[in-house]
A and B are shown apart, each in its own frame.
Chain A
Amino acid sequence: MEVNRETILISKVVDRCETPAEWSELDTLAGNDSALWSRLRTMLRDDADLRAAVASAVAVADAVAVVPPLPVARVPWWSLGGWMAAAALAVLWLAGAPLPSTGTSPGGMSPGNGRAEFQAADPADDGHGREQRTALGELPPVLVRSQPTEDGSALRVVTMRRILEETVVRQVFQVDEDESGELRPVQVELARFAQPSDY
């Protein structure tokens, strides 16, 4: 589609970015064709419709907020050996074997039979056994959902928190198979992890 000079000039006036020289040029064109002002008026009205339509279409964006990431605790590379113990613990925990510490884990999570379960914190738990757990930091939360509240005055944001935690353990297990092929926890000598480590 060819676009003539008049259309370009009108478009610039609609965008309010015309120069004085361009306005004079448009004025001169209108001197020969007074219907030009009518075409300008029509295009201004189209622009108002366009803005209203687009504003309505993108309004949903106002309900989408970001959750800024929190500072992340950096794990030094030389400490990765410690993850072997952590991994063994995780396998052990998921398999439902007894944890070395007592009481409910922080955050209400507890070992289940082969899968993680969320449980309400035990009100009778006096915190015994938690003194060895240290929060190192938090990984950026994962945004799950956000939606405006009923009255539209705020946003209801659902995020998943990921916490790095350090635990001192005295016993480490790994999952092994017995003669009949059944999975069972087998204690691992701590000497296997004798290399320097943060974990």
Chain B
Amino acid sequence: MTDPQHGKHVHAALAGDAEALSMLWRDHRRWVAAVLLAHMPNGSDLEDLLQDVAVTFCRNLRKLRDPGSFRAWLRAIAVNAARSAGRRRAVQQRVLVPLPEFVDAADPAPARAEHQRTTAERLERVLAILSSMQPDYREPMWLRAVQGLTQQQIAEALGLPVTTVETRLARGRRMLRQAMAPPPQSVGTPCRQKPGY
């Protein structure tokens, strides 16, 4: 996603170009999903919330005053949708996201199946650790990972100085590493390490 192209789409969509509107959404829907995942309570339906944001995005884009603040505006819609979901639903702890592409019980090659299983477990663990972080660290981590936004672009979307985003990403990565690291003594029953933050 290059910025000149992004700006062009925003202006065209504001002028009523339906194709630009669709393209703008396609460019940002994974990004919106990341914002929702960073803010929505466990147990919420991500697809439902995406639908809500999509409808609000279409209805309210013409109210956007400053095209330069498009990402911040879209993020605010997503955060509001996630918070509304939090008010509507009882928070229920559960496994975050199934990873079907890594779980293939019918795989005839045991070694490959084992590799996929451990990969799936590792990725699920990454998501679990990510969701257990404080929102200040969680959201920049989601946004950095989802679409390759630069630190500058993340800073603009979050309304923060770049140096703050830089520090939060570094801390978030440190937290992730510490939580992913194997426990010091691995004798006996494998323990589930709880992130220490």
Contacts and interface: CB of A to CB of B under 8 A. Distances in A.
Interface of A: 1, 3, 7-8, 10-12, 14-15, 17, 42-43, 46-47, 49-69, 140, 143, 145-146
Contacts of B123: 49, 52-53, 56
Nearest to B119: A52
B37 A17 contact: no
B101 A56 contact: yes
A10 B177 CA distance: 12
B83 interface: no
A57 B58 contact: no
20 contacts: A7-B170, A7-B171, A10-B173, A15-B169, A43-B177, A53-B126, A53-B145, A54-B127, A57-B37, A58-B34, A60-B46, A61-B32, A61-B33, A65-B25, A66-B22, A66-B58, A69-B18, A69-B59, A140-B58, A143-B58
Given A8-B167, A43-B177, A46-B173, A68 B145 contact: no
A11 B50 contact: no
Contact of A17 (B55, B126, B151, B174): B151
Given A49-B180, A64-B29, A66-B58, 16 more contacts: A8-B166, A17-B151, A42-B177, A46-B177, A46-B180, A49-B123, A50-B130, A52-B123, A56-B101, A60-B33, A64-B47, A64-B54, A66-B22, A68-B19, A68-B22, A69-B59
Contacts of A46: 126, 173, 176-177, 180
Interface in B119-177: 122-124, 126-127, 130, 141-142, 144-146, 150-151, 166-167, 169-171, 173-177
Q: How large is the interface on B (under 10, 10 to 19, 20 to 34, 35 or more residues)?
A: 35 or more
Contact of A55 (B50, B51, B146): B146
Interface of B: 18-19, 21-22, 25-26, 29-30, 32-34, 37, 46-47, 50-51, 54-55, 57-59, 96-97, 99, 101-102, 122-124, 126-127, 130, 141-142, 144-146, 150-151, 166-167, 169-171, 173-177, 180, 197
